């Protein structure tokens, strides 16, 4: 009996071996597609009451705080993805200010892509970390792109009637009304199928919030979305009062930090001014 089991096991090894050996060669071929990452300028913000805005535990002092908006361009071989689409480009030359904040934008995404000789129609995917207006503002400039978004965020946008978050609904209406291709995500999403660009399902800030892992040849990079807004939040777990779910936020912070530690990843907080320097200055790319 033991011999028969051993023979069966050996046969199984022989039968399994050829496809198992084929996989590394395939993975190697895919791994040769160049992978590059650019940080794009997607806005500047002055949050006038920083403490009240970003912590539900009185963690931060009163007064203003400057943060930035960041989008990212990813090139995978000859394919392109945008990660987040920033504030609306109507703000270029027309900053707005109200009691809560001041918003401004120096350059549109299209203007920055032009400098890289990338045409808007070359953008195959738009990955959205979450539905908020400062991450969806310029999406409509890329109507041919396939939208990757957490299903719960998509449903929120679809469910809202007029008068609720109009700016974000307007920015995404092309995809909400069936005009554009959309892929609602229920978990992590391996965008190009080789494990090197992966949207990570990290709910809490919004119900369908995602971060992005980009495994560059120089090492893995993690783009936070708005899981964190600035550096000190990582250590002191500041949770903004407007987050969708506090417990989910803390669980997502835990998962994200473990991924960062296990991979030795370079973490980039998208709204943190100091983290702009963690990638080469535009128009240079990380690779």
Stretch that binds Zn ion, among 53-61, 109-117, 129-137, 169-177 (CB under 5 A): 129-137
53 or 160: whose CB is closer to Zn ion? 53
76 or 135: whose CB is closer to Zn ion? 135
Task: Provide the minimum distance between the beta carbon of 205 and Zn ion in the complex, in angstroms, as a whole number.
Answer: 8
36 or 85: whose CB is closer to Zn ion? 85
Task: Provide the minimum distance between the beta carbon of 285 and Zn ion in the complex, in angstroms, as a whole number.
Answer: 23
Task: Provide the minimum distance between the beta carbon of 238 and Zn ion in the complex, in angstroms, as a whole number.
Answer: 14
Task: Provide the minimum distance between the beta carbon of 167 and Zn ion in the complex, in angstroms, as a whole number.
Answer: 13
Task: Provide the minimum distance between the beta carbon of 60 and Zn ion in the complex, in angstroms, as a whole number.
Answer: 16
Stretch that binds Zn ion, among 10-18, 59-67, 106-114, 126-134 (CB under 5 A): 126-134
Q: What share of the chain is helix, strand, coil (3-state, %, to 5)?
A: 35, 25, 40
85 to each of 73, 245, 279, how far by Cα in Å? 10, 24, 18
3-state secondary structure of 1: coil
Q: Which two tokens stand for residue 108?
A: 């549109």
Task: State the number of binding residues for Zn ion (CB under 5 A).
Answer: 2
Interactions with Zn ion, residue window 217-236 (CB under 5 A): 226
Interactions with Zn ion, residue window 26-65 (CB under 5 A): none
Angle at CA of residue 40, ends 285 and 188, nearest 5°: 85
Task: Provide the minimum distance between the beta carbon of 69 and Zn ion in the complex, in angstroms, as a whole number.
Answer: 7
- d(CA 169, CA 180) in angstroms, rounded, equals 14
Helices (H) and strands (E) in the chain, counts: 8, 13
Stretch that binds Zn ion, among 22-30, 58-66, 81-89, 132-140 (CB under 5 A): 132-140
Question: 164-171 — which CB contacts under 8 Å span 24+ positions?
Answer: 165/131, 165/133, 167/88, 167/133, 167/137, 168/131, 168/132, 168/133, 168/136, 171/85, 171/88, 171/133, 171/136, 171/137, 171/138, 171/139, 171/140
Task: Provide the minimum distance between the beta carbon of 133 and Zn ion in the complex, in angstroms, as a whole number.
Answer: 9
75 to each of 10, 60, 108, 271, how far by Cα in Å? 43, 38, 19, 22
Assess 275 for contact with Zn ion (CB under 5 A).
no
Answer for which of 134, 194, 201, 275 binds Zn ion (CB under 5 A) is 134
205 to each of 64, 92, 121, 132, 202, how far by Cα in Å? 21, 27, 31, 10, 8
175 or 230: whose CB is closer to Zn ion? 230
71 or 216: whose CB is closer to Zn ion? 71
137 or 220: whose CB is closer to Zn ion? 137
71 forms beta bridges with 40
Q: Which residues make up the interface to Zn ion (CB under 5 A)?
A: 134, 226
């Amino acid at each position: 009996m033991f011999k028969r089991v051993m023979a069966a096991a050996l046969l199984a090894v022989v039968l399994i071996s050829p496809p198992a050996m084929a996989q590394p060669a395939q993975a190697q071929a895919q791994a040769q597609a160049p992978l590059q990452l650019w940080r794009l300028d997607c806005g500047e913000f002055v949050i006038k009451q920083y403490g009240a805005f970003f912590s539900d535990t009185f963690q931060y002092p009163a007064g203003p705080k400057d943060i930035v908006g960041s989008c990212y361009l990813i090139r995978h071989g000859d394919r392109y993805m945008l990660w987040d689409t920033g504030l609306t480009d109507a703000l270029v030359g027309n900053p707005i200010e109200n009691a809560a904040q001041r918003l401004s934008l120096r350059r549109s995404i299209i203007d920055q892509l032009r400098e890289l000789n990338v045409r808007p129609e070359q953008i195959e995917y738009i990955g959205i970390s979450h539905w908020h207006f400062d991450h969806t503002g310029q999406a409509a400039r890329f109507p041919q792109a396939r939208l990757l978004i957490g299903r719960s965020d998509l449903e929120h946008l679809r469910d809202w009637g007029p008068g609720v978050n109009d700016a974000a609904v307007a920015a995404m209406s092309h995809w909400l009304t069936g005009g554009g291709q959309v892929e609602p995500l229920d978990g992590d999403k391996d965008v190009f199928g080789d494990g090197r660009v992966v949207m990570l399902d990290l709910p809490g800030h919004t119900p369908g919030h995602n971060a992005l892992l980009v495994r560059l040849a120089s090492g893995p990079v993690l783009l936070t979305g708005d899981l964190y807004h600035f550096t000190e939040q990582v250590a002191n777990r500041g949770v903004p009062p407007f987050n969708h779910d506090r417990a989910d936020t803390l669980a997502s912070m835990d998962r994200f930090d473990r991924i960062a530690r296990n991979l030795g990843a370079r973490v980039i907080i998208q709204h943190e001014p100091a983290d702009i320097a963690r990638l080469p200055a535009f128009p240079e790319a990380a690779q």
